[in-house]
Amino acid sequence: MDYYDQVRESADAVRRRIVEIPSIGIVLGSGLGGFVESIDDGVSMAFDGLPHWPASRVPGHDGRAAVGKMHGRMIIALAGRCHVYEGHSLPTVTFAVRVLGLLGVRTVILTNAAGGIHLGFHPGTLMVIDDHVNLMGSNPLVGPNDDRFGLRFPDMSQVYSPRLRGIADLAGREAGVPLVHGIYAAVRGPSYETPAEIRYLRTIGVDAVGMSTVPEAIVARHMGLDVLGLSCISNMAAGVSAQPLNHTEVVETTRRARGAFSSLLEGIVGHL
């Protein structure tokens, strides 16, 4: 069975368990999985119960999908993702977004926990991603192109939809949730960046750094999906803060920000 058929089989397995196809997909980053509790009449599915679906083993990633209603819209929210640093290939890391596309999702919201590079940020800052820099050393579209997914050379001049970014700003104002905008860089990890690397990233215009999201965004655009990216600044990057970095702090900060983040996501869904 080739990769496309594996994705299709997984999408079919989700489709058989739901009564209505979702048009909005949300991928929830470290510590943000609790958002699924906001979904009305949700159907919950463990990733390891879906064919071919890779499961993350990283703390803060629950490993389940929930499909249900929010503001009258049918959505699917993925609590957790897998990462390149776990040893997964990029096609594996982007498998879930491929499934969303074949399932019928047309808008995908990618969320993450990120390290703050911009000196005006602080832990708990919520950032709308305006653009990204791919520093992971590869691209999920490398290799033979399957035209059933999308074009060989997809345009990346507007990865993150200006319309969706405007909706995020509107939802933030209505919910009283302050937002900033910035550039996100994706690195392979799993080690955190050195202070020298952070100085380099700031020099090239990066505001936040993390270990996910960019491969998913590329694949989503390859499939013609509209993309919105949101980062929760979970810690200040190396050299910005004198404190050593650890994943426990990342998860704890995102959990503290979960209320504001959930309000923002609900508002965005309500405007879509």
* Residues recognised as catalytic: 30, 61, 83, 85-86, 113, 211-212, 235, 247
| First-to-last C-alpha distance (Å) of the chain | 36
Give 196: exposed, middle or buried? Use CB within 10 Å, 0-12, 13-18, 19+: exposed
d(CA 199, CA 117): 8
Transcribe 194-231 into DSSP letters: PHHHHHHHHHTT--EEESSSHHHHHHHHHTT-EEEEEE
The residues, ordered by sequence, that sit 6+ positions from 165 with a Cβ below 8 Å of its Cβ are 128, 130, 181, 228
d(CA 102, CA 12): 9
Give 146: exposed, middle or buried? Use CB within 10 Å, 0-12, 13-18, 19+: middle
DSSP SS3 for 267: helix
Paired tokens of 27: 């991928």
d(CA 76, CA 225): 15
Report yes or no: 106 and 23 within 8 Å, Cβ to Cβ: yes
d(CA 251, CA 157): 32
Phi–psi pair at 231, nearest 5 degrees: -115, 135
